[in-house]
Amino acid sequence: MVDQEWGWTGVVISGWDVVGHQEDGIALLPAGESIASQTIDRVSGNKETLAPMGRWLRERLAYVTGPQIAGPLVPVVAVLAAFLIGAGMLLALGANPLEGYQALLKGAFGDVDALADTALKSMPLLLVGIGICIAFRASVINIGGEGQMIAGAIASTLVALSCGDLSRPVLVPLVLAGGLVGGAIWGAIPGALKAYSGVNEILSTIMLNIVAVQLMNFLLRDLIMDPYEKEHGRLPQTQRLSENSDLPLLPGGTRLHIGVLVAVGMAGLAYALLWRTSMGYRLRAVGHSSAAARYAGMPVKRTIVAALTFSGAMCGLAGAILVFGSESHRFFTDGSSVGFTGSAGFNGIVTALFGGLHPLWTIPSSFFFGGLQFGANAMQRAVQVPAALIVGLNGLVVIFVVSSDRLRRAVSESWGQGRAIGRERAAGRSGETAPAASQELDSGP
């Protein structure tokens, strides 16, 4: 039942109250328990056990900004804190922090070309982040984005090599679909291992990253290697792929191509999947409590496999777009996963966390991190600092964002509990009972 005034919904599942909050999905409480009387678990399963300092920060944020927007501001404050420490590092090296950060912003967002390059840099982060949102909502940890991107790139490249004579309106969707299928298969493998054999998905996805890298190196040094390179250069790359498989460029005279629009469209589809379909409801229900979902008759094992399959498909699509949206229009590598993916498979996890594990909020999050990565090169040239400092600054942002996630969830939890308490008090004054739960899906975060 959807309550428009207080923004929460509920459903009874065989003795459990499933309570959906706008900020962070669903929660399960034993039937008859007061919503406000318990601390609601998050998708990650953590409960509120903040230290006094964390509680003080939460209360100050809520006081200054208002409780409704304090939660989303937590990662922003974390990034500012990381930049503050980064400024200290720049000062220690004799560089001007203001000049450095100004160069970073100008390099990432200073003109149309910079914005286009930032958007291209953010595209794989967005697609991987979308996949992470889907997996994490089902309480499945996907660390295999790198391998799934490579699997998608391999599958799409094989499609282009075998069907290169097809027209562009046919071949471009085919290669993108090949990336989806390749990544989906690579994601379904650890999903099936977890669901049916109890194999930890963290271990299996990391190991499959290694397998994907070795498979890529084998193919690019033998079976699909450019014939010219086999005889002369030995560069691990394919021949120039069919021109009909090139992703169309967008108007404006920049390098921006249709892959960016595809990524944004996938964010919308992921939102619809998670909050507008019964499949998405099952994903979130299984993510919160697989035992309760199983008791309610939900196919828990198939849902776990589906979560990693969808997640892998998004990563595989990112790999395909990297190949067919590149300037060389070849699949190439330096022998490592980073040489092809640029660590997007790992950085996408931070992008998703910064976006609150919400597909739509992952769009601006990915643009920010893409700008940080692209603008860092301009910063390095402007203030003449070592490349290691840029890597360290990126690492600081990652650490602060990941560490702030628990505080963000605690702020959102306090806001949700406050609304529930207010609802119960209002119902008590009017002599009514709180709205009964129904079988309807909630309306989203």
The neighbouring-strand residues paired with 27 are 19
Q: What is the pLDDT of residue 78?
A: 82
Q: What angle do CA 428, 432, 435 make, to 5 degrees?
A: 105
Q: Residue 331 sits in a domain of what CATH number?
A: 1.10.3470
Q: Do 244 and 300 fall within a single domain?
A: yes
Regarding whether 187 and 44 lie in a shared domain, the answer is no
The SS3 assignment for 237 reads strand
Across 6-10, 255-259, 338-342, least confident range: 6-10
- Same domain, residue pair 175 and 254: yes
Write the DSSP assignment of 205-246 as a string of letters: HHHHHHHHHHHHHHIIIIITS-HHHHHTT--SBPPPPPGGGS
Give 55-94 pLDDT, tens digit per residue. Answer: 555 555 555 555 555 556 777 788 888 889 989 988 988 8
Full domain range(s) for residue 342: 112-374
Q: Are residues 291 and 421 in the same domain?
A: no
Asked whether residue 229 falls in the same domain as residue 309, the answer is yes
Residue 156 located in a structural domain: yes
Pair 138, 270 in one domain: yes
Q: Which of 149, 189, 99, 98 is nearest to 345 (CA)?
A: 149
Sorting pLDDT into bands at 50, 70 and 90, what band is 115? Answer: very high
β-bridge partners, 292:
none
Joined tokens for residue 372: 């940080």
Strand partners, 26: 20
Asked whether residue 123 falls in the same domain as residue 250, the answer is: yes
Measured from the Cβ of residue 280, the count of other Cβ atoms closer than 10 Å reads 22
Question: How many domains does the chain divide into?
Answer: 2
Give a yes or no: residue 382 inside a domain: no
Residue 49 has pLDDT above 70, yes or no: no
pLDDT in tens, 265-307: 999 999 999 999 999 999 999 999 999 999 999 999 999 999 9
Q: Would you state the pLDDT for residue 391?
A: 78
**Tokens standing for 211?**
């397998």
Q: Is residue 162 part of a domain?
A: yes
Question: Would 7 be classed as within a structural domain?
Answer: yes
Looking at the structure, do residues 41 and 123 belong to the same domain, yes or no?
no
pLDDT of amino acid 158: 96
Bridge partner residues of 168 (DSSP)? none
Could you tell me which residue, 259 or 58, shows the higher pLDDT?
259
User: Do 255 and 321 sit in the same domain of this protein?
Assistant: yes
CB count in 10 Å sphere of residue 268: 13
pLDDT score at 359: 96
Quick one: average pLDDT of 376-401? 82
Residues 241 and 301 in one domain: yes
Q: Same domain for 327 and 180? A: yes
Assess if residue 121 is contained within a domain.
Answer: yes
